[in-house]
Amino acid sequence: MIEASYTVTGMTCDHCARSVTEEVSKINTVSDVSVSLPTGAVTVRSSEPVNDADVRAAVEEAGYELAAK
């Protein structure tokens, strides 16, 4: 299992966190997504390395922005 962490900006409520979780979960190899609303931290667990561009696209589809690493 591979784990990667990201920071998402603009999330302010549980609905925001659910939207990000739902979109990132659609990435093929992703098996689990956890979001910390207070910190904006998003942890992605997958069977293979996940392309950062795919995560960025999923976060943007949810209406938020991935912070630069």
The backbone torsions φ and ψ at residue 11, rounded to the nearest 5 degrees and listed phi first, read: -80, 130
In this prediction, residues 55-66 reach a mean pLDDT of 97
Model confidence at 64: pLDDT above 80: yes
**% of the chain surpassing 70 pLDDT:** 99
pLDDT digits (tens, 9 = 90+) for 6-26: 999 999 999 999 999 999 999
The whole-angstrom separation of Cα 25 and Cα 58 is: 9
What was the pLDDT predicted at 69? 63
Which residue in this structure is represented by tokens 């390395």? Answer: 49
pTM: predicted TM-score of the whole model, two decimal places: 0.92
What was the pLDDT predicted at 68? 75
